[in-house]
Structure 1
Amino acid sequence: MTGKHHTQKASDSAMYFTLWRWHFYAGIFVAPFLIILASTGLAMLLLTNISGKDLDRTVVNVQATTATIEQQAASAINSVTAPDVANAQVVQYISPRAADTVALFRIKAEKNGDSIDNMVLVDPYTATVIDSFPRQSNWYYVFDSIHGDILLGTVGDYLLETAASLTILLIITGLYLWWHRQRNLKTMLLPKAQPKRSLWRVIHGTLGSWVSVILLFFCITGLAWAGIWGEKMMQAWNQFPAGKWGVEPLPQSTLVVDFAKKSTPRTNSNQATTHEMTTHGKSLNDGGSKDAPWALEQTAMPISNQANKQANLPTLNSINQQAQMLGFQGRYQIYQPKGETGVWTISQDSMSYDMASPTADRTVHIDQYSGAVLADIRFDDYNAMGKFMAAGIALHMGTLGWWSVLANALFCLLVIVLCIAGYMLWWQRRPTAGLRSLNPPARNKVASLSWQFAIILPLLAALFPTALVAVMAIALLDWLLISRIDWLKQLLK
């Protein structure tokens, strides 16, 4: 029995040190990205609640009457008008968030062959222009760009997706390591007094236990925007089916693809048989922004039918009145039709900071020729994954009210402290002779892994492709170079 017990203990110890090394190497890569994501996330959280991402919280004096939408739009267009500016037009209108805040107009124009894309803040009572600036040029969008792809485009997006995927591995191994040391949930969350030299280990382990589930949730909801796991895997299989608009008659004849049936749509004699498919993402997202609700981003847009053309075409003012009659209140967005087959779109969703509750998400499409409602899509129409992501993104972005703002701010700070504590742990363990080695845990020990982890970890890697690619690349690099070159072996192993 003693020999068997000794063998089991040795096996457990070997697995512990193996997972510790995995945790160490993953942490070395992941921690800088987590600090960047937490810092930029905190900055965006504060900016949206202080000034608004487009300064839409700018305050105005409340008056008895408001100017018409046409008057406000004319002032916005005049703000960019100049002899060398042509084709200025409103492409998006954002209604005031409250009675004492500005209305926003997005104005596109051409100047000497270059495009102008400005956000214009207008006093809704006097139609006075308060401010005008190039779209996505303020600090919110700087932090948003860093948060989305660390200013490296597609490469940065893949790096962040890899970091988020490896963070899930980091969470699992970290919880196991702390459980192995504490042996019960109470001491994991509320550890007993420890020697001073163990302070950073206690901070790291305890904070990790407290924030692990929330961090896992943030990783999943953050990955929903990622280029591979989110766009290619999750969104592609969880989009709102374009053949189920919930409006009679179903506008299949005006859609390029019926995602519900995967068939070629019907056409009528007054309409061309083919046209380029436009999705919500292509139509509403512009300049890197994510304005289309996640569950609709890859869903085809309906199109306007010129056969229904009326003598008096819908205008921004009439569409705004129609939006209010349909029940839209507070901050909502109206998008102008794009091209001859485009539609008016009225959108209100928590992902765009329009309102607090994701269950109130609503997108309405209106025929630009007849003013008929082609689609009225609400939260209840999303599938299970779409509902989860709408609610998850609201939690991720802290749009559910002041309690979620404070909770998210605290979480961001705790993640930063967690990462710093991890680095401090490594610094305390570093070689006294200098930095000739990273001094990973259990140096020169043979790796060992239980069959449970041997199944779970590859499965997790397979679910998150960039993590699998990263692990395989590291293993190949280890086999080809690190294990064969002495100074690399000394540094890393």
Structure 2
Amino acid sequence: MSRTRRDANDLYRAVWRWHFYAGLVALPFLILLAATGALYLFKDEVEQWWYADMLQVEAQSTAPVSAQAQLDAALTAQPGEAFRYVTPAAPDLATEVDIRTADGGKRAVYVDPYTGDVTGTLPYRGSVMWTIRHLHSLNYFGSAASMIIEIVAGWSILLVLTGIYLWWPRGQRGGVVTVRSRPTKRLFWRDLHAVTGLFVGGFILFLAVTGMPWSTVWGSKVNEIANGNNFGYPDGVRVNVPMSDTRLAERELTPWSLEQAQLPASTASHAPAMGLDRAIARFDTLGLAPGYAVSLPNGADDAITGSIYPDDLSQQRVVHIDQYTGEPLLDMSYADYGPLGRTLEWGVNVHLGQEFGVVNQVVLALACAGIVLLCVASGVMWWMRRPSGRLGVPPAPQDPRKLRGVLALLAIGGVIFPLVGASMIVMALIDAGIRHRAARPAAGTTS
């Protein structure tokens, strides 16, 4: 074998080996993420069907009862302290009033806006789709588990990049865009894996990158850079606005880029605070889109916040008003974000299936199905190939420098995504141990 051919084989083995390791780390989680993500794409449709008797009401031509009357009805059905009021996004939907209960819990109470009758209650953010979302983010398993998502996203990027190299035709015709053989043969599953990866690889990259803003380390750092930076927000957005110590994310579900935004403080006043009805009227005058949420003040210096994060990014908006005067303290929309904020918010919106309507939902749902098929095909292919009783790690290259070269290239991604880099170091040490163990019998034979 020529040196050029041997070098090419060694490089292929090195890439294949790390592709295998990336699969070990990412594929089990990719199945979970794809399945839960596909379901969450249809959040509104599923919840309005699942909880139809609670969320849907009969639209009427008469004016709804006052917001305060609806809030009072909710508090009568569920005693406690109201902290959030969500206006109906459509004429046939119920109002949502979120309440802190005496035992420290939270409940969402739904009210028919035309009659003031309570239609039902749920645990706050405890619906079936919130359950799916918590599974998707691994929040059910604690904050530390969310670090796994960041690691999986990074390894998924590695999986796609190494997969493209392994898929590259190199003169072959079969198994490039067509599947050969039949399901009883490993060749079928190899081709199915490769061809499916060709079509869904771009989606994996997109979903991994756009999912990173929610991650623990990388996402938090980018969030920190974007908030208060002119590239994320224009100069003067918060200039001369007195700030409280309360964070927006503590009051309301926000876009990732506003999670650390502080709430403006209301000016101290001897005048009575404006009630919910006046606040609703003020937000309507300011032009917030239907379906906006009103976060009620906790103390004398808190602002009243109106926020809306609809599918249409152009209508995304956060407005804080002084609870005594009703004057806007901060009014921020998608158009006010800098290039960084707009780009990342757009990516997140597409990730959630919101930007292009039903087409966005269907395309990503099909991509998620493809990701599950990709993972299943790889598992069957590995099972057919692996030696009995062994893990079946692909053979190491004869020249170990090829492994080091591939690892050096991968380390660039590890620098960008620190948690991924740390996990790569661990995997490199494990790989070194595997190669050392594999080499020991051979050394014993030669001695």
- Asked if these proteins are the same fold (TM beyond 0.5), I'd say yes
Q: Distance in 1 between matches of 2:236 and 2:353?
A: 31
Structure 1 residue 417 displacement after superposition:
0.6
Quick one: which of 210, 215, 219 aligns to 1:230? 219
Partner of 1:260: none
Q: Distance in 1 between matches of 2:249 and 2:365?
A: 29
Partner of 1:340: 300
1:160-209, CA deviations, whole angstroms, 9 ceiling, x for partnerless residues?
A: 2111111111111001110155679xx88633x62333221121111111
**1:314 partner amino acid:** M
Quick one: which of 239, 247, 270 aligns to 1:279? 247
| 1:406–1:194 distance in 2 versus 1, CA, 3 Å | same
1:72-103, CA deviations, whole angstroms, 9 ceiling, x for partnerless residues?
A: 1111001113xxxxxx2221111112111111
Partner of 1:63: 60
**1:222 partner amino acid:** G
| 1:213–1:325 distance in 2 versus 1, CA, 3 Å | same
Establish whether residue 13 from structure 1 lines up as the match of residue 31 from structure 2. Answer: no
| Aligned residue pairs, count | 434
Question: Do the aligned partners of 2:175 and 2:191 also contact (CA within 8 Å) in 1?
Answer: no
Q: What is the percent sequence identity of the aligned residues? A: 27
**2:248 partner amino acid:** H
Partner of 1:106: 98
Partner of 2:395: 442
Partner of 1:287: none
Quick one: which of 378, 384, 399 aligns to 2:339? 384
Q: Distance in 1 between matches of 2:321 and 2:61?
A: 31
Question: Do the aligned partners of 1:295 and 1:386 also contact (CA within 8 Å) in 2?
Answer: yes
**1:101 partner amino acid:** L
Quick one: which of 382, 385, 410 aligns to 1:429? 385
Question: Do the aligned partners of 1:241 and 1:299 also contact (CA within 8 Å) in 2?
Answer: no
Partner of 1:375: 330
Partner of 1:317: 277
Question: Do the aligned partners of 2:156 and 2:208 also contact (CA within 8 Å) in 1?
Answer: yes
| 1:348–1:385 distance in 2 versus 1, CA, 3 Å | same
TM-score normalised per structure 2: 0.89
Partner of 2:416: 463
Structure 1 residue 118 displacement after superposition:
0.7
Instruction: For residue 365 of structure 1, give the secondary structure of its aligned residue in structure 2.
Output: strand
Instruction: For residue 114 of structure 2, give the secondary structure of its aligned residue in structure 1.
Output: coil
Q: Distance in 2 between matches of 1:391 and 1:224?
A: 12
| 1:454–1:441 distance in 2 versus 1, CA, 3 Å | closer
RMSD: 2.8
Return 380-389 or 118-127, whichever deviates more. Answer: 380-389
Instruction: For residue 104 of structure 2, give the secondary structure of its aligned residue in structure 1.
Output: strand
Establish whether residue 474 from structure 1 lines up as the match of residue 427 from structure 2. Answer: yes
Structure 1 residue 151 displacement after superposition:
2.5
| 1:377–1:35 distance in 2 versus 1, CA, 3 Å | same
Q: Distance in 1 between matches of 2:440 and 2:348?
A: 42
Quick one: which of 200, 211, 220 aligns to 2:209? 220
| 1:486–1:195 distance in 2 versus 1, CA, 3 Å | closer
Written as runs of structure 1 = structure 2, the 5 A alignment for 1:93-242 is: 93-110=85-102, 114-149=103-138, 151-181=140-170, 190-191=177-178, 194-196=180-182, 197=185, 198-231=187-220, 233-241=221-229
| 1:126–1:476 distance in 2 versus 1, CA, 3 Å | same
| 1:150–1:72 distance in 2 versus 1, CA, 3 Å | closer
Instruction: For residue 299 of structure 2, give the secondary structure of its aligned residue in structure 1.
Output: coil
1:50-69, CA deviations, whole angstroms, 9 ceiling, x for partnerless residues?
A: 22599588221112221111
Instruction: For residue 50 of structure 1, give the secondary structure of its aligned residue in structure 2.
Output: helix
Establish whether residue 45 from structure 1 lines up as the match of residue 47 from structure 2. Answer: no
Q: Distance in 1 between matches of 2:167 and 2:437?
A: 34
Instruction: For residue 301 of structure 1, give the secondary structure of its aligned residue in structure 2.
Output: strand
**2:247 partner amino acid:** T
Q: Distance in 2 between matches of 1:486 and 1:11?
A: 21
| 1:489–1:245 distance in 2 versus 1, CA, 3 Å | farther
